[in-house]
Amino acid sequence: MRSDQVRCGMQQAPHRSLFNALGMTEEEMKKPMVGIVSSFNEIVPGHMNLDKIVEAVKLGVAMAGGTPVVFPAIAVCDGIAMGHIGMKYSLVTRDLIADSTECMALAHQFDALVMVPNCDKNVPGLLMAAARVNIPTVFVSGGPMLAGRVKGEKRSLSSMFEAVGSYAAGTMTEEEVKEFEDHVCPTCGSCSGMYTANSMNCLTEVLGMGLRGNGTIPAVYSERIKLAKHAGMAVMEMYRKNIRPRDIMTENAFKNALTMDMALGCSTNSMLHLPAIAHEAGVDLNLDIANELSAKTPNLCHLAPAGPTYMEELNEAGGIYAVMKEISKKGLLDLSCMTVTGKTVGENIADAVNRNPEVIRPVENPYSQTGGIAILRGNLAPDSAVVKRSAVVPEMLKHEGPARVFDCEEDAIEAIKGGKIVAGDVVVIRYEGPKGGPGMREMLNPTSAIAGMGLGSSVALITDGRFSGASRGASIGHCSPEASVGGPIALVEEGDRILIDIDSHKLELKVSEEELAARRAKWQPHPPKVTEGYLARYAALVTSADKGAVLKL
């Protein structure tokens, strides 16, 4: 056992004295020591129930012959951090979470780990740590929130942000906004649509790092507690068989995840997180393959914000395994990949059943023949940009319009809510990338304002920042290279024509190369927005969005 290094032999007598101080018995010290990484806190709705999940995991580990030991991981609520300086601190926590978990796991020589995350950066951060530490590890999330109800219709957090835009447009009263405010988030859990947290929890299941139901069993269901107990038991079986994260998170497993990303219509943030996790696993995940996979992967699910269904309905329809079973009919998944069950993907999904062909469309009747995410390129984004194609209305799949240029999110929101953006415009928000932000803020406020003001089918938004999974419409993010390093988005001027052609994967600035060269010669870097603290260190080390915004060593 790895933990022998801190518990066995005369040299470790001081160590054992400290375990005695913890109240640990000799019997416990003889068993494999399993670290349970708890993301519990009292500020994130998706995490307020994790104490219950952790207790269930502890029982599972103990029942299966291990000694559970809990230590913490931080998490930011993106919704609460949205629209102010707090959003600069969201993406950057992914690396803090990975680094601190590595420190705890290796400093104390745990034999295995169970990760208990739930929200946006917390899940990928712990997946990065799992790949880096590479000891037997199982994930069990806190589960999704149930959908809210307003006037008899199911609603979620994206509805809340759009209600604020409707109020600004004068189409909703303050009392109506209050009704949304009181009812769209009715339970604990990760927000109820296919937003980033649920996307990553579902893709954890696809990667093979979580048990069946990890991504979809609602937070308030007792089935979630049973799942946590089984996760504790499963990690002990992994320990006995020496199955490790890098045995599971292989190149083909990541291709499976990208394929299912397309089928599910996940958040565009997955295009940041999957390459970063793959990087830690020693896999070079080139996003150029995303369009190749998308071209042959049908989009089978339209969950909020792309459609009217929610995570609870996906769970009832058969969950992620049922979607995988549908996609496997086209031969698009590697069914031989190993998983935390000790079985292959093919063995896991063999008995999966699609119980609702409206929530999970059969492959013969998809929402579209191509996947939910598209990677765009062109002279405006030579290193790529990302759009959630499944959440774009058909009339905006191809659009050309004048650029309305803003150097920060706040200025863009002021213009949108002030009625200065009109049908046909292409809003450009720059200097919000990984370095320029710093921290690559999500742009849910401006996208929601556009939708709430009735411009979702006529206005596009392009940024070197990123979007919440709750964003919908022609919202194109991760524009790379970013403005702060002199990417072409820094050269756009008010009124320039921009062509967006999502089906052709094009993003073009309709300006001659000669004119762009002249602008480039005059361009000067913006002074950094932050010069001290963690954000300044992050800005100095972070790479481009198309590389997953990983930190340079």
Q: CA-CA-CA-CA torsion for 439, 261, 309, 126, nearest 10 degrees?
A: -50
| Integer Cα distance of 128 and 139 in angstroms | 12
Cis bond upstream, residue 305 (ω within 30): yes
Set 141, 192, 458, 468: catalytic member: 468
3-state secondary structure of 394: helix
Q: CA-CA-CA-CA torsion for 476, 480, 482, 488, nearest 10 degrees?
A: -90
Q: Which amino acid is at 515?
A: E
544 catalytic per annotation: no
| Integer Cα distance of 56 and 311 in angstroms | 23
Write the CB contacts of 187 (distance below 8 Å, at least 6 apart in sequence).
Answer: 145, 146, 218, 219, 220
93 contacts 76 by C-beta, under 8 angstroms = yes
With vertex at residue 508, the alpha carbon angle to CA 503 and CA 510, rounded to the nearest 5 degrees, is 135
| Integer Cα distance of 347 and 72 in angstroms | 34
| Integer Cα distance of 386 and 467 in angstroms | 10
Q: Which amino acid is at 305?
A: P
Phi, psi of 267, rounded to the nearest 5 degrees? -65, 145
Burial of 516 (0-12, 13-18, 19+ CB in 10 A): middle
Buried b vs exposed e over 87-124: b needs ≥16 C-beta within 10 Å? bbbbbbbbbbbbebbbebbeebbbbbbbbbbbbbbbbb
Retrieve residue 205's tokens.
């299941």
Burial of 460 (0-12, 13-18, 19+ CB in 10 A): buried
Name the residues annotated as catalytic.
468
